[in-house]
Homo-oligomer: A and B are copies of this chain.
Amino acid sequence: MSPDPQPDGAAGLDALTLAVRAFAEERDWKQFHTPKNLAMALAAEVGELLAELQWLTPAESAAVMDDPDLGPRVRAEIGDVMIYLARLADVLRVDLVDAAQAKLTDSARRYPVDRARGTAAKAPG
């Protein structure tokens, strides 16, 4: 497990977690990084993402990455959200992917394919 960015999205998440941890420790920011504060920061970053998409139609939002101005901004906001989510999970010692897979298994039970098909305006979660 090394903080080197890796070619596959794979080992990437572990490496990212370590890189964000190092970033915080080098700056002595661990003192600010309580779960409460990090959840607020995560929400604030999601707010910035919403701000990029709020006036777009759904169709415009689907093409947002093709826009030379908006595309990179949306990507950057998503990067910020991922950073804080990785940091929050690290501080809480939660494995992000395991937690998500467990929730997806729950959702598969609550929304069986035959009943949920097309009608249910509900997604996993």
**A interface residue numbers (CB < 8 A to B):** 3, 5-6, 8-17, 19-20, 23-24, 26-29, 31-51, 53-59, 61-62, 64-65, 74-76, 78-89, 91-108, 111, 113, 116-118, 120-125
Contacts and interface: CB of A to CB of B under 8 A. Distances in A.
Given A51-B44, A62-B35, A3 B125 contact: no
- How many copies of the shown chain assemble into the complex? 4
A103 to B, nearest CB: 3
The residue in A32, A78, A120 that gathers the most chain B C-beta atoms within 10 A of its C-beta is A78
A54 B40 contact: yes
Contacts of A58: 34, 36-37, 57-58
A49 to B, nearest CB: 6
